[in-house]
Amino acid sequence: MKKIHLDTDIGGDPDDVCALALLLKWQDVQITGITTVTEDNGRRAGYARYVLELAGREDIPVKAGADISGGYFSYAPDYPDESKHWPEPITPCPNPADEAIELLKQSVEQDAIIIGIGQYTNFFLLDQKYPGILRDAKLFLMGGYVFSIRVGFPQWGNDFDYNIQLDTHSARYVLENSTPTLLPMTVSVETAIRRAYLPRLRQSGKLGGLIATQSELLNETEQNEENFGKTCGGLPADILNFQHDPLACGIALGWNKGVTIEEVPLRFDIQDGLLCETIDESGKPTSVVTAIDGEAFNEFWFCLLTAAR
């Protein structure tokens, strides 16, 4: 039985919901806790609890972590229209942020795998309260821009790395004071949730239906089919969204189809307001995912989510 703790900014891009759904469907996984980051008075914690209710897993503890009122973030993120993206009004679940830090501490002490798919602020606050605790944590982090994006995929720049760039101070601290496995955006951009998946997702239950609805709505806003499906040869033509966060969870749990993880010496600097991860022989050795089989992961996630249990 693998123990997992998920730290998430659920409530914006629906790939956080896709990631949580993957963890809930994976056999022999115990989710020791869920903490939310970039919070707005418990709004994201409310979304996480709602997803757990759809899955019949109200037993999993959820705590709201670092809030936008704390001044950690360069701006306050907005949210998709809740009346369209969620089937009913979601009740916020606020709590003192320190309760999230304590839940994280408990998970680390249980030797759980800690997966960060949002900003790194809660991890920074954890190490500030318990100095050195990050060094021994089994940490998997979604984010980073180490190598260039391969031809055939969106040619984004470092400024697109939302997880790291929204709170560069915490990100730099965590990367310098932990031993994470880093899943860069430059690799996760090779994944996709496809329009072809929607009928079976809707047939799989309420959670699959929620994912299908949110993915369609995101595509209406972002026009991913038009902007990337028609222009990026490495992506399926019917792409609705990228699967950054589910990929991070899958690799943390051992999915390894085409996965290459290399130790790369990195230096972390703030340049023009952005955190840059530069390869430097004198830098900190960091485990970095440098290659995946994106198409294989797409099918793996889809089959796992729609399999009968």
Could you report the average pLDDT of every consecutive run of 10 residues in the chain (309 residues)? 97 95 96 98 98 96 98 94 94 98 98 98 98 96 95 94 96 97 97 97 96 96 95 97 98 97 96 94 96 98 87
Per residue in 189-224, pLDDT (tens digit) is: 999 999 999 999 999 999 999 999 999 999 999 999
Q: What percent of the chain has pLDDT over 90?
A: 97
Question: Could you tell me the CATH number of the domain that includes residue 175?
Answer: 3.90.245.10
pLDDT at 24: 97
Cβ atoms < 10 Å from Cβ of 160:
14
pLDDT at 42: 98
pLDDT at 309: 56
Q: In whole numbers, what is the pLDDT of the chain averaged over residues? A: 96
pLDDT at 308: 62
pLDDT at 173: 98
Q: What is the largest distance, in Å, between two alpha-carbon atoms of the chain?
A: 53
Of 117, 192, 123, 126, whose CA–CA distance to 161 is shortest?
117
Looking at the structure of the chain, the number of domains it has is 1
Domain span including residue 118: 2-306
